[in-house]
């Protein structure tokens, strides 16, 4: 038996422990001198292991990541990633905004020198991270950041399926060593990959889990220029979010099993350290509102961020239970102070915090009626009512409330709109009376409600494109009678020739607008994506008097305006009417060369909508981070600008201003209802309602998500089934009148169902709700290429299955309770969808 002893590795491990002791005993003089001597000894040991070529200990040092191996392969923190202390360790925190480490092109010299090698690190992935999406690279070493297009070589390790891959081109020619399942979340894991000659080995927590023949070496890639931790080399991939790394190493030899095992020995203390951080964070940040005057049940959360569980203990359960149920003292009694003790627990780490609640006694009957009357108001926009009102039946102080409408034929006593005034007849003014009573105490309160007239629309028009090749980069139209089930017009073929209207032969991102007069306006990106994402310089302006016949003009920004000669991206133009000027404002994302970042610019169109009146001006930028796909809506006296955080989160945020052309203030939170990357947000109001839709292209998963809101800020996935008989990319929606709908159908109708407002009945799901099994019956001829996809409310893909018969039974017993969608596709085009509930 051969005994392998690696002197330098033993000392490396020993020195790490010494450094940990230094942190623990830094104030002890005797230990100090001992550690001083041993630290020098460790330096000698490190120097002896010349195979360690890169070492990131992630010591906090501003935006720099120092290479502790002495080889100066230093990195730079990007997009909010930070190096920080975690207990006695130092870690990289990638954060939630596409944080990563740029190892710079200098590290490419190391990659070019590697044949036999080892990559080793600790990684922790938060439980809320979606690892199903493409990307989630832990580290990558590549010759491009647009690998799908350039196909010039890369290597990476990904958490999506715990996989190492290397290719001289791109994904089509990868050699992999893969576990085949996602890296476990919510625990520190040690991952290492070694390659010796043509044998690649993948180690998890010190144990060999997979090996394979790998004939491509890092040196075959040359000096890779794009080297990252936490970022992919594919431009549309998601970043590794809300994750931590520690002790990132590269050796120019294949470490042994024992050496890998020694490097992986800190998982348990790392778990304890991060659990302490998360429980302390929950303890310090959980706020329970309204404890100073409690008159109703309290929502006591059972969990917090990062998988921290919360349990509650009340000091007076007869007044305030452990679950937050309130039993108020009788009228005339004193308030009762209750101590609520919250225990925050993650794995075996816990901490507590006390909250003081002041439970108020009931008021007298007359006081209750007076208080409830004072605070009473219907829920809804009574100044211009488009959606039903919510009318409370009881007050917070226990009074009963009854409602009476002076005109139930228009507005019922329950707040439901029963007879909307016809279009063109004006709004209906209704007096709504509330009677508030408790015991013998009674009072009344009236409200004036203006019920909005019918807006005169009957359907929705969706303008979109479908993909990145050939005539997919063309304008297409679809119609929907309800705003959720869309069917393509013109057999899903372009309604205009891209070659005829553009300078490149391709157009994308159509935005359509109903004008203030009888005209309609469209703007599109003039671009062929196969030429590269930095290749377009123009947009196309289109105008129509009937939605079916369009005039077009190309506006090339650098050719027209020399001050923007360096512009290399003119993306996603949109149009809005400016009542202050009586003109149509065109706004779009523009980047001025590779050293710039995308910002939103604007200019006014001329009266014929064939050109811009002047050079573009800056409208909005996001603190040095790229923004694209802006969409502006006006509501409540303010302009709401929605945008995509391009390359720094790949989600949707908004900024708000009192003025159309400037002064936008960022609302710094993501508005999409999914963790996968999205783009092409479109915001519009459903006609005859106060409900706003935010729809967006989930471009990495081939889906489109519809969300809704009553306040333009808090959006949730619509409970209505959404379906397409096509696969849309970035588009916009407007309502259309009966005459407009008929004109569209007359020119492009190929689906007679639209003419009769029929619903898609190709699929039946039962029982609904389902508990154990869901049965699916498909009333459509089954042909090769059909598949079924089940997604949850966030858009996360749960199941993909080929369809081979018209009857399917799906086991749903393992799914969490909630709402799900099942989509049916033929050749990647959705032909039916259904919603079901798991109870």
What is the pLDDT at residue 60? 92
**What mean pLDDT comes out for the span 208-237?**
95
Q: Given a cut of 60, is residue 818 above it in pLDDT? A: yes
Q: Given a cut of 90, is residue 256 above it in pLDDT? A: yes
Q: Given a cut of 60, is residue 361 above it in pLDDT? A: yes
Q: Given a cut of 50, is residue 278 above it in pLDDT? A: yes
- Please give the Cα distance from 516 to 294 (Å, whole number): 51
**Sign of CA pseudo-dihedral 713, 716, 722, 728:** positive
pLDDT in tens, 73-118: 999 999 999 999 999 999 999 998 889 999 999 999 999 999 999 9
Long-range contacts of 560-563 (CB under 8 A, 24+ apart): 560/611, 560/612, 561/615, 561/616, 563/615
- Please give the Cα distance from 221 to 232 (Å, whole number): 16
Sheet holding 818-826, edge to edge: 797-802, 786-792, 818-826, 829-838
Helix axes 7-24, 29-48, angle to 10 degrees: 150
Phi, psi of 278 (to 5 degrees): -65, -40
Q: Given a cut of 50, is residue 759 above it in pLDDT? A: no
**What mean pLDDT comes out for the span 366-392?**
95
**What mean pLDDT comes out for the span 461-485?**
95
- Please give the Cα distance from 390 to 387 (Å, whole number): 9
pLDDT in tens, 622-679: 988 889 999 999 999 999 999 999 876 678 999 999 999 999 999 989 999 987 889 9
Q: Which CATH class is domain 52-252?
A: mainly beta
Q: Given a cut of 50, is residue 37 above it in pLDDT? A: no
- Please give the Cα distance from 510 to 494 (Å, whole number): 12
**What mean pLDDT comes out for the span 512-534?**
94
The predicted model scores a pTM of 0.66
- Please give the Cα distance from 668 to 138 (Å, whole number): 26
**What mean pLDDT comes out for the span 730-735?**
97
Model confidence band, residue 50 (pLDDT cutoffs 50, 70, 90)? very high
Model confidence band, residue 829 (pLDDT cutoffs 50, 70, 90)? low
CATH 3.30.420.40 matches 459-751: no
Q: Given a cut of 60, is residue 32 above it in pLDDT? A: no
* Strand 797-802 with 154-158, pairing: unpaired
What is the pLDDT at residue 46? 41
Q: Taking a C-beta distance cutoff of 8 angstroms, is the pair 670, 649 a contact?
A: yes
- Please give the Cα distance from 572 to 729 (Å, whole number): 12
Q: Given a cut of 60, is residue 752 above it in pLDDT? A: no
pLDDT in tens, 421-430: 999 999 999 9
**Sign of CA pseudo-dihedral 153, 159, 160, 163:** positive
What is the pLDDT at residue 20? 46
* Three-state DSSP class for residue 627: coil
Q: Taking a C-beta distance cutoff of 8 angstroms, is the pair 296, 325 a contact?
A: no
pLDDT in tens, 313-350: 999 999 999 999 999 999 999 999 999 999 999 998 99
- Please give the Cα distance from 787 to 832 (Å, whole number): 11
Q: Given a cut of 90, is residue 680 above it in pLDDT? A: yes
**Cα pseudo-dihedral 687, 689, 690, 692, rounded to 10:** -50
What is the pLDDT at residue 380? 92
Instruction: Look over the chain and give the mean of its residue pLDDT values, rounded to a whole number.
Output: 90
For the domain bounded by 763-838, which CATH number is listed? 2.60.40.10
Structure tokens at 721: 């089934």
Name the helix (H) or strand (E) containing 7. Answer: helix 7-24
Considering only 81-90, 92-101, 408-417, 814-823, which range has the smallest mean pLDDT?
814-823
Using a 10 angstrom Cβ sphere, with 0-12 exposed, 13-18 middle and 19 or more buried, the burial of residue 162 is buried
pLDDT in tens, 571-599: 999 999 999 999 999 999 999 998 888 99
Terminal CA-to-CA distance of the chain, rounded, Å?
Answer: 60
Q: Given a cut of 50, is residue 416 above it in pLDDT? A: yes
**What mean pLDDT comes out for the span 811-829?**
80
Number of residues that this document lists for the chain: 839
**What mean pLDDT comes out for the span 604-613?**
97
Q: Where are the domains of the chain?
A: 1-49, 52-252, 277-359, 366-451, 459-751, 763-838
């Amino acid at each position: 038996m051969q005994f392998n002893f690696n002197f330098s590795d033993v000392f490396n491990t020993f020195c790490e422990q010494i450094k940990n002791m230094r942190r623990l005993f830094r104030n002890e003089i005797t230990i100090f001198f001992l550690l001083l001597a041993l630290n020098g000894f460790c330096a000698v040991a490190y120097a002896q292991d010349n195979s360690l070529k890169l070492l990131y200990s992630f010591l906090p040092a501003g935006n720099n990541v120092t290479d502790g191996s002495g080889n100066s392969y230093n990195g730079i923190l990007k997009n909010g990633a930070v190096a920080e202390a975690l207990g006695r360790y130092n870690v990289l925190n990638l954060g939630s905004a596409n944080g990563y480490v740029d190892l710079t092109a200098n590290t490419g010299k190391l990659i070019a020198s590697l044949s036999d090698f080892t990559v080793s690190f600790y990684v922790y992935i938060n439980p809320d991270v979606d690892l199903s999406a493409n990307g989630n690279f832990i580290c990558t070493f590549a010759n491009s950041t647009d690998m799908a297009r350039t196909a010039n070589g890369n290597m990476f390790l990904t958490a999506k399926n715990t996989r190492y891959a290397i290719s001289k081109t791109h994904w089509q020619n990868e050699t992999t060593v893969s576990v085949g399942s996602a890296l476990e979340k919510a625990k520190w894991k040690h991952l290492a990959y070694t390659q010796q000659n043509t044998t690649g080995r993948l180690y998890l927590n010190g144990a060999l889990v997979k090996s394979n023949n790998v004939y491509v070496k890092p040196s075959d890639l040359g000096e890779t220029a794009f080297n990252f931790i936490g970022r992919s080399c594919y431009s549309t991939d998601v970043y590794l979010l809300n994750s931590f790394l520690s002790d990132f190493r590269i050796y120019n030899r294949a470490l042994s099993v024992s050496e890998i095992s020694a490097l992986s020995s800190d998982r348990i203390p790392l778990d304890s350290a991060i659990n302490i951080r998360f429980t302390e964070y929950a303890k310090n940040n959980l706020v329970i509102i309204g404890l100073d005057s409690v008159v109703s049940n309290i929502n006591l959360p059972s969990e917090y961020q990062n998988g921290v569980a919360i349990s509650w203990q009340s000091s007076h359960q007869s007044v305030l239970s452990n679950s937050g149920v309130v039993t108020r003292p009788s009228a005339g009694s004193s308030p009762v102070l209750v101590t609520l003790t919250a225990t925050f627990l993650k794995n075996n780490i816990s901490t507590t915090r006390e909250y003081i609640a002041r439970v108020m006694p009931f008021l007298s009957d007359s006081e209750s009626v007076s208080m409830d009357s004072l605070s009473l108001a219907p829920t809804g926009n009574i100044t211009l009512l488009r959606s039903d009102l919510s009318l409370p039946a009881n007050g917070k102080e226990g009074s009963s409330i009854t409602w009476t409408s002076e005109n139930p034929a228009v507005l019922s006593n329950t707040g439901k709109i029963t007879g909307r005034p016809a279009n063109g007849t004006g709004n209906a003014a209704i007096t709504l009376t509330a009677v508030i009573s408790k015991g013998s105490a009674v009072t009344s309160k009236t409200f004036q409600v203006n019920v909005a007239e019918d807006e005169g629309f009957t359907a929705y028009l969706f303008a979109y494109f479908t993909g990145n090749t050939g005539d997919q980069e063309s304008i297409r139209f679809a119609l929907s009678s309800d705003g959720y089930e869309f069917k393509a017009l013109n057999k899903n073929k372009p309604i205009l020739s891209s070659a005829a209207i553009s300078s490149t032969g391709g157009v994308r991102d159509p935005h359509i607008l109903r004008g203030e007069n009888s005209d309609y306006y469209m703007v599109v990106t003039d671009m062929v994506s196969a030429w590269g994402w930095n290749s377009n310089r123009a947009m196309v302006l289109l105008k129509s008097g009937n939605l079916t016949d369009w005039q077009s003009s190309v506006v090339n920004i650098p050719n027209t305006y020399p001050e923007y000669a360096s512009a290399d991206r003119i993306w996603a133009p949109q149009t809005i009417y400016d009542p202050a000027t009586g003109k149509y404002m065109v706004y779009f994302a523009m980047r001025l060369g590779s050293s710039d970042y995308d910002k939103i610019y604007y200019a006014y169109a001329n009266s014929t909508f064939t050109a811009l009146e002047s050079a573009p001006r800056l409208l909005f930028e996001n603190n040095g981070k790229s923004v694209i796909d802006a969409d502006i809506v006006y509501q409540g006296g303010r302009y709401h600008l929605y945008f995509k955080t391009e390359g720094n989160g790949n989600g949707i945020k908004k900024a708000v201003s009192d003025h159309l052309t400037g002064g936008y203030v960022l609302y710094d939170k993501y508005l999409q209802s999914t963790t996968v990357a999205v783009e092409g947000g479109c915001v519009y109001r459903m006609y005859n309602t106060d409900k706003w839709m935010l729809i967006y292209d989930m471009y990495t998963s081939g889906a489109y998500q519809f969300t809704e809101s009553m306040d333009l800020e808090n959006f949730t996935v619509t409970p209505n089934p959404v379906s397409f008989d096509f696969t849309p990319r970035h588009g916009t929606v407007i309502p259309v009148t009966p005459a407009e709908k008929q004109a569209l159908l007359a020119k492009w109708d190929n689906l007679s169902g639209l003419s009769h407002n029929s619903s898609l009945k190709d699929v039946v799901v039962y029982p609904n709700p389902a508990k154990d099994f869901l049965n699916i019956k498909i009333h459509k001829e089954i042909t090769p290429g059909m598949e079924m996809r089940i997604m949850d409310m966030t858009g996360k893909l749960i199941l993909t299955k080929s369809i081979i018969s018209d009857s399917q039974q799906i086991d749903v017993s393992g799914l969490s309770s909630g709402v799900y969608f099942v989509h049916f596709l033929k050749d990647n085009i959705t032909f039916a969808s259904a919603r079901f509930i798991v109870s």
